[in-house]
Amino acid sequence: EVQLVESGGGLVQPGGSLRLSCAASGFTFSDHYMDWVRQAPGKGLEWVGRSRNKANSYTTKYAASVKGRFTISRDDSQNLLYLQMNSLKSEDTAVYYCARDHPYYSDVWGKGTTVIVSS
Amino acid sequence: DIQMTQSPSSLSASVGDRVSITCRASQDISNSLAWFQQKPGKAPKSLIYAASSLQSGVPSKFSGSGSATEFTLTISSLQPEDFATYYCQQYSTYPLTFGGGTKVEIK
């Protein structure tokens, strides 16, 4: 069964850092682009960024709202996707989802992990 | 950035109704459009990709159409499990962008 499980969410103070993880199983992780998407409370979906696969040099793309603060990385040997979030702001409060791309749209989503940025 | 505009933002419909949701792109995205369904407290679920291709396992009551800048998601006969919020997303150009969502409620 194809599965994505996010972890690492929690409460963090403004200006702080947090690293989210996404554990993938049931498919060849290294073949796929992977996305992070977030959803602020009561709001719509916002694409955060993408990690391309090894064949595309693991290049990354980001939304303007997080560029320079967030970094996406992956460990294909462990089937893990990461989102390093620095300089967190209150507006980063959201549920963060990881999603598998097939190849350019998200066909499988995790259940999400909640990040709350508050003092 | 490409702006995606969904209409209506909400609609009320009865079980058995045929409903359509429109998504307009601010520039030509060819057929690089996906539709997702999201129920409260749950992750989004992929319904349609490439504007009109049905995701594996999704019932055929869902259909998508359109190209370039105008797209439509149609549910042929609304069932209780279809009451949810629907989002379109363009994946033609970075940054990927979503529509604001359409909430389908029970009349």
- pLDDT tens figures, B77-100: 999 999 999 999 999 999 999 999
Residues A4 and A99: beta-carbon distance below 8 Å: yes
**Summary mean pLDDT of chain A:** 97
Burial class for A49, CB neighbours closer than 10 Å (0-12, 13-18, 19+): buried
What pLDDT is recorded for position A104? 84
Q: Which long-range contacts (CB under 8 A, 24 or more apart) does A14-18 make?
A: A14/A88, A14/A89, A14/A90, A14/A117, A14/A118, A14/A119, A15/A87, A15/A88, A16/A88, A16/A117, A17/A84, A17/A85, A17/A86, A17/A87, A17/A88, A18/A85, A18/A88, A18/A115
Give the span between the Cα atoms of B27 and B13, in whole angstroms.
31
Report the pLDDT averaged over residues A95-103. Answer: 94
Which residues of B are less than 8 Å from A111 in CB distance?
A: 42-43
What pLDDT is recorded for position B58? 97
Of A63, A105, A112, the CB nearest to B95: A63
Report the pLDDT averaged over residues A44-56. Answer: 96
Beta-bridged to residue A96, according to DSSP, are: A38, A113
A104: nearest CA in chain B? Answer: B91
Q: Is B71 on the interface with A (CB under 8 A)?
A: no
Ranges of residues in chain B with a pLDDT under 50 are none
Of A61, A97, A105, the CB nearest to B43: A97
What pLDDT is recorded for position B34? 98
For testing contact with chain A, the best of B92, B96, B98, B102 (most A CBs within 10 A): B96
Query: Omega before A103 cis (within 30°)?
Result: yes
- Residue bearing the bigger pLDDT, A103 or A33: A33
Report the pLDDT averaged over residues A24-50. Answer: 97
Token pair 């996707």 is found at: A81
Inter-chain CB proximity B91 and A105 less than 8 Å: yes
pLDDT at A103 over 90: no
What pLDDT is recorded for position B47? 98
What pLDDT is recorded for position A91? 98
Please report the number of interchain residue pairs, chain A to chain B, with beta-carbon separation below 8 angstroms.
57
pLDDT at A102 over 90: no
